[in-house]
Chain A
Amino acid sequence: GENVEQHPSTLSVQEGDSAVIKCTYSDSASNYFPWYKQELGKRPQLIIDIRSNVGEKKDQRIAVTLNKTAKHFSLHITETQPEDSAVYFCADEDTGRRALTFGSGTRLQVQP
């Protein structure tokens, strides 16, 4: 089955710094790569996604880049704020089953 590796497992940054989380996938047919944010005790929520025909997508302080050749994609958060503290999950979609496989998660802590 599909495998998604996510690094790092924890990340601590100072407020205002940038944060980068990286994921690697195995299925070369994967074509959809969303990122979900889960605050403590809350539901996962989509923050940004990218499709395989696009190399980069940006939404205010959040950006995602995709390298299909290397089969990896990354989440970039600039000017981090304490409210960015959460667990972030990358995912990719198994094109055959049309179901998401999630990475193991990254706990981001933004220190004020």
Chain B
Amino acid sequence: DTEVTQTPKHLVMGMTNKKSLKCEQHMGHRAMYWYKQKAKKPPELMFVYSYEKLSINESVPSRFSPECPNSSLLNLHLHALQPEDSALYLCASSQAGTGNEKLFFGSGTQLSVL
């Protein structure tokens, strides 16, 4: 299995809702990432987990809360989002998070905040 699986594919939520994005990989990778991608823009790094520990937080607002329950799973908990948070949220994984590694991206969750 060489895929990173993300659910849901699409999500519409109100500004008062709480929702979660899920990401799963079974390649034995020990680094997992959340990226945000606005239309016609490059992916922007949000968080990195390495060996289930948060290693990078790119000063992301606290309304985004990541969680890595185990080495195969990565969640992004969403609460009180703003319309400008609407974007494609991409999960990725790499072998060890030690650098010079290929990133395997999921297909993303297209999020719309109303």
Q: Chain A residues near B12 (CB, 8 Å)?
A: none
Smallest Cβ distance from B106 to chain A, in angstroms?
6
CA distance A57 to B97 in the complex (A): 23
Main secondary structure of the interface of A (DSSP, over half): strand
Q: Chain B residues near A46 (CB, 8 Å)?
A: 102-103
CA distance A105 to B103 in the complex (A): 17
Q: Which of B48, B102, B106 meets A99, CB within 8 Å?
A: B48
| A61 at interface by CB-CB < 8 Å | no
**Complex interface bits, A31-43 against B, C-beta within 8 A gives 1, otherwise 0:** 1101010000011
- Interface stretch of the complex, out of B13-21, B38-46, B61-69, B71-79: B38-46
Q: Which of B43, B48, B100 meets A31, CB within 8 Å?
A: B100
* Contact across chains for B43 and A44 when beta carbons are under 8 A apart: yes
Q: Chain B residues near A34 (CB, 8 Å)?
A: 102-103
Binding site for A on B (CB under 8 A): 33, 40-45, 48, 56, 90, 97-100, 102-103, 105-108
What 11 new A-B contacts, CB under 8 Å, besides A31-B100, A104-B41? A32-B100, A42-B107, A43-B108, A49-B102, A89-B42, A95-B99, A99-B45, A99-B48, A102-B42, A104-B42, A105-B41
Binding site for B on A (CB under 8 A): 31-32, 34, 36, 42-46, 49, 51, 89, 93, 95, 97-105
